[in-house]
Amino acid sequence: MQLPKYGLEFDVIQGEQTIEFTPDEEGIIRWSCWMGMIPGTFIVKNEIDLNNKEAIKEEIASTPQQPPGTCGGSAGGSCGGSTCGASTGGSCGCGGK
């Protein structure tokens, strides 16, 4: 897992794992796997009521969508193409084939 904004890299292992880091400002922090195929987003807020499900839904809905991974994922990209592990019967890891 890579967090380029903070210059951080974490090895992810199978099973439950805790990864800790402390953001220094509110905002959106993008992350991805080391190949850029599996992207994600952390939303950093100083204050939000975690019991207010509507506020959380609104925050998530207002967050810009992360661009798809480099293999294109299941949204019509190259998942399963000649450069993807799915083309040889494996998994590309992006939610596609």
Cα separation, 70 vs 21, in Å, equals: 26
Q: What is the pLDDT at residue 82?
A: 52
Q: What integer is the mean pLDDT of 24-52?
A: 87
Cα separation, 64 vs 6, in Å, equals: 20
Are residue 7 and residue 31 in the same domain, yes or no? yes
What is the value of pTM for the model shown?
A: 0.57
Split into its structural domains, the chain has a count of 2
3-state secondary structure of 3: strand
Domain enclosing residue 51, as ranges: 2-66
Q: What average pLDDT does the structure give for the chain?
A: 75
Are residue 45 and residue 26 in the same domain, yes or no? yes
Are residue 11 and residue 50 in the same domain, yes or no? yes
Q: What integer is the mean pLDDT of 66-82?
A: 53
Q: Which residue has the tokens 């890299």?
A: 9
Are residue 31 and residue 55 in the same domain, yes or no? yes
Are residue 61 and residue 76 in the same domain, yes or no? no
Are residue 50 and residue 77 in the same domain, yes or no? no
Q: What is the pLDDT at residue 92?
A: 53
Are residue 35 and residue 78 in the same domain, yes or no? no
Are residue 9 and residue 55 in the same domain, yes or no? yes
Distance from CA of residue 7 to its chain's centroid?
16
Are residue 45 and residue 88 in the same domain, yes or no? no
